[in-house]
């Protein structure tokens, strides 16, 4: 996947380097032209100086540096020359600058006719050495540019990273959003360009939210509308029970079907009633142990009718939550424990404090839940082939979905394991403790 940061850094650095290089090249050319002019002027001065030399001195004494040479000609006779100069004319006898090759090098020459003495003075300077200094000066000005490229690259990297930080913040916020959270993204102090993206995301979220809400409302309304005809059906069934044989299979199946429908509708309504807004409204300090006592008191007769042994252990621990939602959570766990545990089985409900959390355990010594199934049991409408106890409303696969939904609203975690009875299942819900 290509990176915006890498693209910007590479692009800016390449542009800067190219511009610097072109500027340095241009600088090099101008410096060389100026150096040329300067050296030519020096050569001219040197020619004037040689013209004024006392030629009675022996030319052998005139040992100049490696880079300079001269000749003084009287007609066709060489009357003086420097150590390096050859004995034939370095250049043609005509005033001005030129180039010439001798002594294995290329030389810049200047020829001058001395009007007083009638001599021709030819001076020469080695071209390779004359530019060494100029080149050094130019190189010294280019070198810092070359060396600064990594530093400039690092600076650009930091600036671009800083500029892209709001993008990282936005991406982190979107990543941390819960799957059910369709609230607008809060991108504060964001850049103008990103504000448009945030606006588009929020617009999309709002449309998605509306559509999800519509779906939810439809399901809740449908469940609500079904309540009345189902109640009417139940009344009709009750009236009929006095007139026909209630022992027949058809009658049993009809009654079973109506009960299943009623249970499903009630569970659906419970699920849609518990939304985060309602939860926030009803949030208060709740004694979880007390909630368990209330649920047990309500369900005790059913448990007793199955001769199951039910115990409640633990302490009065307080959590922050919605009593109605917590009551539903405990109620669903307990009714499942009773539903799937055979007659005379054991059920244990425990509330205790552990590692700064409040733990609710609901255990039984029923058939348990195979490990492969443990993830799936929380999915909507998932229910296994396990047959519940007689007299219990048939499963519709929403009980544990509601448990995990309520747990999520309370920032609690639900886990399933093997019960302390050695067989059967244990559901553990770990809640954050209410602040004192």
**Nearer residue to ligand ADP within complex by CB, 13 or 377:** 377
Q: How far is the CB of 225 from ligand ADP (least distance, A)?
A: 22
Q: Which of 52, 106, 316, 386 binds ligand ADP (CB under 6 A)?
A: 386
CA dihedral 14, 18, 20, 21 (to 10 degrees): 130
Cα Rg, the chain, nearest whole Å: 49
When binding is defined by CB under 6 A, the residue of 160, 187, 377, 406 that contacts ligand ADP is 377
Output the DSSP codes for 356-378. TEEEEEEEE-SS---GGGTTGGG
| DSSP, res 346 | E
Among 259, 383, 432, 434, binds ligand ADP (CB under 6 A): 383
166/395 with CB nearer ligand ADP: 395
Is residue 395 at the binding interface for ligand ADP, with CB under 6 A as the rule?
A: yes
Cβ–Cβ < 8 Å for 344, 334:
no
Q: Does 230 engage in binding with ligand ADP (CB under 6 A)?
A: no
Among 85, 317, 348, 400, binds ligand ADP (CB under 6 A): 400
Class of residue 73 by CB neighbours under 10 A (exposed 0-12, middle 13-18, buried 19+)? buried
Q: Would you count residue 396 as binding ligand ADP (CB under 6 A)? A: yes
125 vs 364, beta carbon nearer ligand ADP: 364
Tokens (6 digits) for 116 = 């007083």
Tokens linked to 421: 């009875």
Q: What secondary structure does DSSP assign to 165-215, as a single string?
A: HHHHHHHHHHHHS-TT--PPP--TT--HHHHHHHHHHHHHHHHHHHHHHHH
Q: What's the min distance (Å) between Cβ of 266 and ligand ADP?
A: 11
With respect to ligand ADP, which residue has the nearer C-beta, 216 or 386?
386
Q: How are beta strands 309-314 and 346-354 bridged, if at all?
A: parallel
d(CA 327, CA 351): 14
| Interaction between residue 429 and ligand ADP (CB under 6 A) | no
DSSP 384-425: -SPPPPTTSPPP-S-HHHHHHHHHHHTT-EEEEEE-TTSSSE
* Segment lying near ligand ADP (by CB under 6 A), choices 57-65, 305-313, 352-360, 397-405: 397-405
Compare residues 356 and 422 and give the one whose CB is closer to ligand ADP: 422
Binding to ligand ADP by residue 345, rule CB under 6 A?
Answer: no
Q: Does 125 bind ligand ADP (CB under 6 A)?
A: no
Is 340 an interacting residue with respect to ligand ADP (CB under 6 A)?
Answer: yes
Segment lying near ligand ADP (by CB under 6 A), choices 31-39, 99-107, 115-123, 375-383: 375-383
**Residues at the interface with ligand ADP (CB under 6 A):** 336-337, 340, 364, 366-367, 369, 377, 382-384, 386, 395-401, 425
């Amino acid at each position: 996947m290509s990176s915006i940061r890498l693209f910007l850094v590479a692009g800016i650095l390449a542009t800067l380097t190219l511009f610097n290089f072109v500027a340095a090249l241009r600088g090099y050319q101008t410096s060389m032209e100026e150096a040329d002019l300067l050296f030519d002027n020096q050569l001219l001065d040197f020619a004037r100086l040689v013209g004024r030399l006392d030629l009675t001195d022996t030319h052998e004494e005139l040992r100049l540096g490696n880079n300079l040479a001269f000749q003084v000609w009287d007609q066709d006779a060489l009357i003086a020359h420097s150590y390096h100069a050859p004995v034939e004319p370095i250049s043609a006898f005509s005033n001005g600058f030129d180039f010439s090759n001798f002594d294995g090098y290329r030389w810049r020459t200047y020829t001058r006719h001395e009007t007083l003495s009638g001599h021709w003075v030819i001076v020469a300077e080695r071209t390779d050495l004359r530019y060494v200094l100029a080149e050094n000066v130019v190189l010294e000005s280019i070198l810092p540019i070359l060396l600064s490229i990594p530093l400039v690259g690092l600076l650009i990297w930091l600036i671009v990273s800083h500029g892209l930080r709001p993008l990282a913040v936005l991406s982190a916020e979107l990543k941390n959003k819960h799957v059910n959270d369709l609230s607008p993204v809060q991108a504060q102090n964001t850049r103008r360009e990103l504000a448009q993206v945030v606006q588009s995301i929020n617009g999309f979220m709002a449309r998605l939210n509306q559509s999800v809400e519509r779906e939810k409302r439809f399901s809740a309304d449908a469940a609500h509308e079904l309540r009345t005809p189902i109640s009417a059906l139940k009344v009709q069934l009750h009236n009929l029970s006095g007139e026909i044989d209630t022992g027949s299979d058809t009658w049993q199946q009809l009654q079973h079907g109506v009960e299943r429908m009623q249970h499903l509708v009630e569970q659906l309504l419970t699920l849609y009633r518990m939304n985060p807004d309602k939860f926030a409204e009803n949030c208060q300090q709740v004694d979880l142990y007390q909630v368990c006592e209330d649920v047990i008191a309500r369900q005790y007769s059913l448990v007793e009718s199955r001769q199951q042994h039910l115990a409640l252990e633990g302490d009065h621990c307080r959590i922050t939550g919605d009593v109605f939602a917590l009551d539903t959570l405990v109620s669903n766990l307990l009714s499942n424990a009773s539903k799937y545990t055979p007659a005379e089985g054991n059920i244990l409900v425990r509330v205790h404090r552990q590692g700064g959390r409040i733990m609710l355990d609901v255990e039984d010594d029923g058939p348990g839940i195979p490990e492969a199934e443990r993830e799936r049991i929380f999915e909507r409408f998932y229910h296994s082939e396990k047959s519940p106890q007689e007299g219990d409303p048939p499963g519709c696969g929403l009980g544990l979905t509601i448990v995990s939904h309520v747990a999520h609203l309370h920032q609690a975690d639900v886990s399933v394991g093997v019960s302390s009875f050695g067989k059967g299942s244990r559901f553990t819900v770990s809640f954050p403790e209410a602040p004192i």
